[in-house]
Amino acid sequence: MSPARTVLVVGGGATGNAIAMLLRRAGNTVHLIEAKDDWNATRGSGITLQGNALRVLRELGVWEQVRASGFGFDSVGITAPDGTVLHAQDDLRTGGDDLPATVGMQRPRLQQILIDAVSASGAEVRLGVRATELEQDADGVTVRFSDGTEGRYDLVVAADGLGSTTRAAIGITVKPEPTGMAIWRVAAPRPAGLTRTDLAYGGPAYIAGYCPTSDTTLYAYVVEANRDRAGIPPMSYADEMRRLTRHYGGFWPQITAHITDPAQVNYTWFDRMLVEGSWHRGRVVLAGDAAHCCPPTLAQGAALSMEDALVLAELLASSDTWDDALFQAYYERRIARVRPVVEASVQIGQWQLDGVRDADVPGLMGRTMTMLRELP
């Protein structure tokens, strides 16, 4: 067993929250800093959590709260743009047969559940604080913070997301790259009878879909080719999303009627990134979107990130020596699982961009999800 250490977690999203909880459980002193003053408690519309994400949430001890707050389902529908259901199929339960295939949730609700759990764990949390300077030696890392303080740590976990400043600070120059697609997202009331994700391919967008997030809510999204964000003023976001969704039938007219507030509509480009070779430099190690990201075509971003936290915490707890060999073992265990998901997620989008009509999307999705059923 590892002796108790002091760890700094940079970033209070799902990855950082998960690693903070797990390291506290192992008896370590954990400091978590988050740049946002509100701990990201109000941001986002919805999130799709597949079974392998639910498996980690169960390990974190929050599964019952997630189940009570979200909406679980076990199938996905494929529809024509007019809403006609063309095919419905059972989803693979990647978290095991005792968990749903998928749970949809309001993203702020999931974040609040994790916030409460981190607070209860005894981790020291500071909001509105950034790490501004890191100095390493053989024994640890000295970190200076934006509030003028500094601390000394046995390990720093960089879970500060896609644009990670910690990643750049330790000399890893890989940056996210756009894939050519973008997504509009919004939260809305859930129409009666909408009980699963349905995906429409075709029409004015590449994909139009929705996911129930509670007994009364959903989040809806449309995917199109990315556009110059400078040419889309935020005040037009609701109009732009309605322009796309009004062409879809089925439940879409009821959803579209609620797309009225531009402040509630989110527009994001799809990016890809995968740090190769190692995810650490000395005693600073990357996790989650700081190390990898992919388009949400397989809805695996949060799941892979929380798996990182689970694997890293397991390795740290099982070793007396936190060194390059341990951090490289973490990388090698994760890269074998993360790389095929990133590649498959990008490939599915590229087939759509290229207009490939005979692409084996179901086969690629099936193979990837079957792999994810295995323990990380």
Q: What is the pLDDT of residues 140-178, one digit of tens each?
A: 999 999 999 999 999 999 999 999 999 999 999 999 999
Parse the chain into domains and list their residue ranges: 6-47+107-176+272-373
Q: In what order do the strands lie in the sheet with 292-293?
A: 85-90, 75-79, 197-202, 205-212, 217-225, 177-189, 265-274, 292-293
Average pLDDT of span 10-39: 98
Query: What's the pLDDT score for residue 44?
Result: 86
Residues 6+ apart with CB under 8 A from 209: 197, 198, 199, 200, 220, 221, 222
**Which residue reads 């090698």 in tokens?**
332
Query: What's the pLDDT score for residue 225?
Result: 96
Average pLDDT of span 302-315: 98
pLDDT digits (tens, 9 = 90+) for 34-83: 999 999 998 889 999 999 999 999 999 999 999 999 999 999 999 999 99
Question: 6-47+107-176+272-373 — its CATH code?
Answer: 3.50.50.60
